[in-house]
Structure 1
């Protein structure tokens, strides 16, 4: 099977290269033609490909000439659509980094072009494949919590400017922390509720943190009312300090008529302390969610199960984010 990684703009590309390299049945190439336009010190291009022992091609056209079965798109958010359209035109399946797009219009176009071309479109949400979430979903599906009435979700992280500056570019990223972190929680709820759509969204945001470094919002609170009556509240802030031992974390609390369930997606770890860094350490263990997601995508490409999440799921989460920004702008709830 031939898989190409398109762009190293998103640092998740490195995790995906590592996961692909564990599969002896996969031939990998990568391209990162825009690497020279990034900030000094932001690694990419042939240098990063060499680090992973991956064959490097100089352009997207060279990738299409090589003839991949599928691509993994790790470009800046606003460039997901044109790369997806190129892939569909060549009959190539797509795994797109999240969010699917920066606008509902672009997300809808991506879904439509892939459906017309008969190619599969999957969104890179590895937390769906974490042990913690799978166990939570089993509990939810079994009825152990009764009827779920409310959800409290958090997705907090460090300001990503130190790894890739484009994350705080409102055009390339589509916004700030509301774009970056709402979609993770919204995707998990899309899975739990089997695609039940959001009915209304209310959101607020601020720049209390890091206001001296960026123009986009760094803190946000998004309230989502779903068609099944569930009210979900999402803290989607870049609120972890720069010295935090990992990028951040993701939690869910489901409140049901028969019980409460709490999930911490990254709690499978051993904590420590380093005199070298004078800071805490974080040693993770257990299932590698990135590997599990990549394995799932390869099964999809091979003609196996349907993508999870698929393009329409990604469209629903983008709709929530777009509504959140409209709510922030107007100060009013937005009906979808």
Structure 2
């Protein structure tokens, strides 16, 4: 299978490293407007560098395109790839508004190509274990969940993160991970209430979600935190409690060589203690879904719903009012 990558920044390099480990996959083209990033990616992968995305689609012979560009560019580049008959593996969020997300899904279906969105938390072993325990009923009926995802501001290295119309801010770029995971684990949302503080180098948001099951979840997301990137999750049910905290010691520690881009110009990529990177598991899974024509663990519809909930958090934080859903459909949107 032949793959091309548009966007040779941090996640573009992550995707490239993942593809290199999958038998039968060859990177045949890389594209970026930054000539330095483009040259380094081409040297690393042995793929032909393209300054023009259209030329890469026409000339590389790729079957799949990885879209690892700033979030506001996900929709136009994914649609161009789909119209050229290429399967699309797009980083999260799927888009910055629901109209763009719906159009991406529609165009991919219309052109009979697959659309995968990188909600990689579904591939972190510790989160998969929590989801499995909840689904098995090991915790009984879930009553309360607390999740957080905090770290330095990525805009310090990549300024576009500080532009709301390009990144979506901390809710759409960072909290969206936990919003997707919660919907995967607890089902559809009934109501959303959000708070947000945006001041200087701090972008902080919290949200309270009530689910159709009656479970309540509290989520924090913070850019500008003066400490290491940290994630934590706790679910309390009638039969017990399960916790995961990346800041605490783990029973299994695997030491690896530092990533090529450590300390470089790219933003921090979340890590997991497992031997196989969650990104490797995710990309391998997407390729297998194309090869075997099967449904992925995370669908384009799931990505759409995560964005919808995230936008509800943003709207609630702006208006001070709760946003209501009915069986997973936002009230007033039918």
Q: 1:183 to 1:147 in 2, by over 3 A?
A: same
TM-score, with normalisation over the residues of structure 2?
A: 0.85
Structure 1 match to 2:4:
4
- Residue pair 1:7, 1:30 contacting (<8 A) in 2 also: no
The separation in 1 between residues aligned to 2:2 and 2:44, in whole angstroms, is 20
Structure 2 match to 1:228:
213
Q: CA deviation at 1:269?
A: 4.3
Gaps of 5+ in 2: 256-262, 264-270, 325-329
The separation in 2 between residues aligned to 1:269 and 1:249, in whole angstroms, is 17
Structure 1 match to 2:267:
none
Structure 2 match to 1:274:
none
The separation in 2 between residues aligned to 1:264 and 1:4, in whole angstroms, is 35
Structure 1 match to 2:233:
252
Q: 1:13 to 1:269 in 2, by over 3 A?
A: farther
Gaps of 5+ in 1: 37-42, 272-276
Per the alignment, in what secondary structure is the counterpart of residue 261 of structure 1? strand
Structure 2 match to 1:321:
310
Alignment pair present for 1:206 and 2:206: no
Q: 1:94 to 1:137 in 2, by over 3 A?
A: same
Structure 2 match to 1:75:
69
Alignment pair present for 1:238 and 2:223: yes
Give the one of 242, 254, 276 matched to 1:261.
Answer: 242
Q: Deviations over 1:235-275 (max 9, x none)?
A: 0111432x63xxx132211111111111236856479xxxx
Alignment pair present for 1:147 and 2:141: yes
Q: CA deviation at 1:285?
A: 4.8
Structure 1 match to 2:30:
31
The separation in 2 between residues aligned to 1:311 and 1:235, in whole angstroms, is 24
Alignment pair present for 1:182 and 2:175: yes
Give the one of 123, 130, 135 matched to 2:129.
Answer: 135
Q: Deviations over 1:182-220 (max 9, x none)?
A: 111012123223xx3322211111135xx1x5xxx6111
Per the alignment, in what secondary structure is the counterpart of residue 25 of structure 1? coil
- Residue pair 1:206, 1:220 contacting (<8 A) in 2 also: yes
Count of paired positions: 307
- Residue pair 1:120, 1:300 contacting (<8 A) in 2 also: no
TM-score, with normalisation over the residues of structure 1?
A: 0.84
Structure 1 match to 2:44:
51
The separation in 1 between residues aligned to 2:72 and 2:235, in whole angstroms, is 33
- Residue pair 2:78, 2:88 contacting (<8 A) in 1 also: yes
The separation in 1 between residues aligned to 2:105 and 2:210, in whole angstroms, is 24
- Residue pair 2:133, 2:139 contacting (<8 A) in 1 also: yes
Q: 1:178 to 1:85 in 2, by over 3 A?
A: same
The separation in 1 between residues aligned to 2:130 and 2:210, in whole angstroms, is 21
Which stretch has the larger CA shift, 308-317 or 222-231? Answer: 222-231
Structure 1 match to 2:99:
105
Q: Deviations over 1:19-42 (max 9, x none)?
A: 111124111034333326xxxxxx
Which stretch has the larger CA shift, 47-56 or 21-30? Answer: 47-56
